[in-house]
Amino acid sequence: MNKRTTRGLLAFILSLVMIFSSFSLVFANEIAVDDAAMPAGGLSIQGSRVSTNYTVSFAIMPDGSLWGWGQNFDGRLGDGTTIDRRSPVKIMDNVVAVSSGLFHTMAITTDGSLWGWGGNSSGQLGDGTTINRHSPVKIADNVAMVSAGMSHTVAITSDGNLWTWGNNWWGQLGDGTNIDRHSPVHIAGNVASVSAGFYHTMAITTDTTLWGWGNNSHGQIGDGTTIDRNSPTLITNGVTSVSAGHHHTMAITTDTALWGWGWNWQGQLGDGTYTDRHTPTFITNGMISVSAGSSHTMAIDVNSTLWGWGSNVNGQIGIGAFGDWNIPISRPVQIMDNVAEVSAGSRSTVGHTIAITLDGCLWGWGHNTHGQATGNVSAMNQNRPVLIRCHDDGKMLQLQHNRVSAGHAHSLEIRPDGTLWAWGSNSHGQIGDGTIISRLSPVQIMDNMAAVSTSNTHTMAIDNNGILWGWGNNSSGQLGDGTTMRRLSPVQIMDNVVAVSAGAGHTVTITKYEHI
């Protein structure tokens, strides 16, 4: 970690308590743009339906419901608790845009209301306090776009005015100072789009001019220097989309050309090198959307094909485990087709990615210690896209994980009709057919099953009613039936179970109340 990053983290922890900042405070050197460029009737609400950062993920489904999962320290999921969620939980309805910072989250509802929750030590929620919020709190009205940085927030109202608040150690608020703000302060008018990085901010005005400010230690602002800026600085023209990552920036111009600049130590710019760039550098053509994470980048082309590059140490690019799959990739590689939206998570080389395909299905991959990538209880990192959920008839449907499980020398499968089948070694009754006879072909064990997990010589399974069953070796009490007796057929263990994992001689479960 370099000195500048350390300085920023210290500022995040030890941010000063400032007085309430007026909504009418106007930055004296406001970005000058022709008022006529503002669309008639103001800006429509815009933003992302998926957002990832650090160890959390959020997705808005077609019915407007917002779902979140992953680590919940500081209440960043917004479900009213600080309990980690390894499966998606519903947060609120009627949501059209969401953006997650390092410890806080911001969302816009259909009526243009802005809501915030999570960590608030620097006033990044904008509610005039530094109190953490575990549930959504209303911040403002008539908001068209919002972007959450590490510990600051930027938003555009429907009239094209840009407002910022939160940590300002590096000048990332753009108000000409380095003073934290606990309530929104006005920065500029005629702004069409904005993106908050970890310590820097990028904005596009209605005439497609790109501006940048904040931390510039790696040239991420793009003005040709490494000098921090605490007020908007002109970068280039003809820009339609911008994404500010940890210490790098990606932008798309009117001709669909993709450009990148800033930190490039993991090849996250995609220019084929690992050299930092202090001014916009051409990457490729034909892109319509881009998301800059910490040290990897994801982009969607005009054919809805998803591309990725940069750090892949946790599989966050999604290229799979072939060859040296975890080495940095300095050029765009094709990941999957028919992608509508993508979000690249960030935290140093630790990263994950969430995407929505054109059919409305949600996918995830990469770092998964808190379930943030795949939305299930597995803590394993995923180096290829994993299907999380699909939307159907207004309902959020949980895809059925753990449909197959391989033990030491036996296997089990749940078929589409819910029947459980098993085969292989049966020396301890781990197949569950009432015998200790090994089976060379599948035999049916149970009906109406939802999930199965097996280990060396015992098996655990959950039926569609949430009832947990166990059978096989029980010498260490791993079945959980209060005995150490071997069971050759399934015995009922407990109710209200949503997940189970069988270890070598022990078992762990999660109930619907999130108890382990």
% of the chain with per-residue pLDDT over 70: 81
The answer to whether residue 104 scores a pLDDT higher than 90 is: yes
The answer to whether residue 304 scores a pLDDT higher than 90 is: yes
Question: What was the pLDDT predicted at 12?
Answer: 32
Considering only 105-119, 176-190, 316-330, 466-480, which range has the smallest mean pLDDT?
A: 316-330
The answer to whether residue 301 scores a pLDDT higher than 90 is: yes
Task: Report all structural domains of the chain as residue ranges with CATH numbers, in order of start.
Answer: 3-381+389-398 (2.130.10.30), 404-511 (no CATH)
Mean pLDDT of 420-439: 89
Question: What was the pLDDT predicted at 14?
Answer: 31
pLDDT tens digits for range 485-506: 999 999 999 988 878 887 777 8
Question: What was the pLDDT predicted at 22?
Answer: 29
Assign 239 to helix, strand or coil. strand
> In the chain, what is the straight-line distance between the N-terminal and C-terminal CA atoms, in Å?
35
Question: What was the pLDDT predicted at 255?
Answer: 97
Q: Grade residue 183 by pLDDT with cuts at 50, 70 and 90.
A: very high
CB atoms within 10 A of CB 41: 8
Rounded CA-CA distance 49/289 in Å is 13
CA 275 to chain centroid: 27
The answer to whether residue 38 scores a pLDDT higher than 70 is: no
pLDDT tens digits for range 395-416: 433 434 456 666 666 777 787 7
Average pLDDT over the chain reads 83
The answer to whether residue 257 scores a pLDDT higher than 80 is: yes
Give 172-205 as a 3 state SS string.
Answer: CCCCCCCCCEEEEEEEECCEEEEEECCCEEEEEE
Backbone angles phi, psi at 74, to 5 degrees: 70, 5
The answer to whether residue 437 scores a pLDDT higher than 80 is: yes
Is 290 in contact with 332 (CB distance < 8 Å)?
no
Is 345 in contact with 362 (CB distance < 8 Å)?
no
Is 509 in contact with 515 (CB distance < 8 Å)?
no
Mean pLDDT of 213-237: 98
**Helix and strand numbers, DSSP H then E, in the chain:** 1, 39
Question: What was the pLDDT predicted at 11?
Answer: 37
pLDDT tens digits for range 9-32: 333 333 322 322 322 222 223 343
Question: What was the pLDDT predicted at 275?
Answer: 97
Considering only 6-10, 113-117, 249-253, 293-297, which range has the smallest mean pLDDT?
A: 6-10
The answer to whether residue 510 scores a pLDDT higher than 90 is: no
Question: What was the pLDDT predicted at 512?
Answer: 61
pLDDT tens digits for range 361-408: 888 888 777 666 666 655 577 788 888 777 554 343 343 445 666 666
